Amino acid sequence: MTKTALFKGKDYITTQEWTGAEIETLLEVSGDLKRKFKEHVPHRHLPDKTIFLMFFDKSTRTRNSFEAGITQLGGHAHFLTAEVMQVSHGESPKDTGIILSSYGHGIAIRHDLIPGEGNSYMREVARWASVPVINMQCDVDHPCQTLADLMTIREKLGNNLRGRKLAVTWAYASSYAKPLSVPQGLIMLMPRFGLDVVLANPLEYRLMPETLKAAQENACAAGVKFEVADNMDDAFRDADVVIPKSWGCLDTMGTKPEESLRIAKQYRHWICDAAKMKLTRPDTLYMHPLPADRGNEVTDEVIDGPHSVVFQEAENRLHTAKAIMALTMADGNIAYDA
């Protein structure tokens, strides 16, 4: 298949802005690139292309999937942090977008810790950039992670996910107040592809209202369920996939992130352990975007156990990142096997 040129220059800021057919193409290209990577087949779709990776937060999987991915595609990445850029001195997203566009072929941004900032910043850069802008995680969505999650689920359970239940739940962590974008991205994307989704979180750890609305609308449009629970047990019961992870309090993330950790201490029992997994179906998948807070979010018995697919999930971050870059940055059609 080769009908991919229409993606050139398209921003990838949230999955909401991509049609189901477009996301299917992303998944098909991801699968093709994964096969070629495993078989050592060259796939230099982006020779001499440059992408700028702007990080306002730390990263392992995202940075390395993009850096390794662009190299395997024949291009080159520039790793940039705020403190080494004039952004730290107040340079505008307009000026940044225009200048970086004139130097290369793509801009990718991670700006995820402060609600109300990251997504808006990316959109302002994209407004002025003449190259595609890719969201490596913002305050609203993590579309690179959720695409890899969907790829992993379909590899394990097949493409027809109707009747399957996904539990997206908050879990206790003591390390730091994590962004809300992973659960928000999951509840928005997964109903579109046939999964019944249950979200569970303590009252203080609510998600952005606009993402809850989008999740409900997407579920209605797809003819599936989106439900909200106030405990892990109800979410886990009869689930086919569970993704329990921590996130911070929406009201304090941008001002007092330590408050999220203080409040969280009363919910230490929100942990994915063997007892919780017994509530799920026998062949349930345990997933986590990593890094997991072992002993708090999840026990070693679960994350290292037979239900866990976290390392396959993490590996798929490489292949999906490559697909996003290849489709949006290539000069012409990309030949791939669906």
Tokens read off for 312:
């396959």
Give the relative orientation of helices 209-222 and 181-189 as an angle to the nearest 10 degrees.
20
Show the tokens assigned to 121: 């910043």
In the predicted structure, residue 299 carries a pLDDT above the cut 90: yes
Identify whether residues 133 and 227 lie together within a single domain: no
DSSP string covering 207-264: PPHHHHHHHHHHHHHHT--EEEESSHHHHHTT-SEEEEE----TTTTTT-HHHHHHHH
pLDDT digits (tens, 9 = 90+) for 144-168: 999 999 999 999 999 999 999 999 9
Q: How many domains does the chain have?
A: 2
Same-domain pairing of 90 and 236: no
Q: Tell if the pTM clears 0.85, that is, is over it.
A: yes
Please tell me the predicted confidence (pLDDT) of residue 27. 97
Q: Which residues lie below 8 Å from residue 184, measured CB to CB, with a gap of 6+?
A: 140, 141, 207, 208, 211
What percentage of the chain has pLDDT greater than the value 90? 87
How confident is residue 2, by pLDDT bands cut at 50, 70 and 90? low
pLDDT at 208: 97
- The answer to whether residues 112 and 118 touch, using CB atoms and an 8 Å cutoff, is yes
Average pLDDT (61-80) is 97
Domain contains 334: no
Paired sense of beta strands 50-55 and 76-81, if any: parallel
Are 308 and 324 in the same domain? Answer: no
- Check whether residue 9 and residue 60 sit in a common domain: yes
| Confidence (pLDDT) at 148 | 98
Q: Is residue 338 situated within a structural domain?
A: no
Tell whether 205 is covered by a domain. Answer: yes
Is pLDDT at 198 greater than 90 in this prediction? Answer: yes
Q: 228 is in which domain, residue-wise? A: 145-314
Residue 113 sits in the same domain as residue 214:
no
Checking if the pLDDT of 33 tops 70, the result is: yes
152 and 21 belong to one structural domain: no
**121 shares a domain with 213:** no
Do the domain assignments include residue 33?
Answer: yes
- pLDDT, greater one: 193 or 60: 193
User: Does the residue 335 lie in any domain?
Assistant: no
CATH number of the domain encompassing residue 285: 3.40.50.1370
Look over the chain and give the mean of its residue pLDDT values, rounded to a whole number.
Answer: 95
Q: Over 90: is that where the pLDDT of 90 sits?
A: no
User: What residues does 286 pair with on adjacent strands?
Assistant: 242, 308
111-157: per-residue pLDDT in tens? Answer: 998 899 999 999 999 999 999 999 999 999 999 999 999 999 999 99
Say yes or no: 299 and 157 in one domain: yes
Q: Say yes or no: 24 and 90 in one domain.
A: yes
**In terms of DSSP bridges, do strands 196-200 and 165-170 run parallel, antiparallel, or are they unpaired?**
parallel
Interval 201-256: pLDDT, tens: 999 999 999 999 999 999 999 999 999 999 999 999 999 999 999 999 998 887 88
Q: What is the mean pLDDT of residues 179-207?
A: 97
Instruction: Quick: pLDDT tens for 244-287.
Output: 999 999 988 878 888 888 999 999 999 999 999 999 999 999 99
Q: 104 with 223, same domain?
A: no
In a domain, 336, yes or no: no
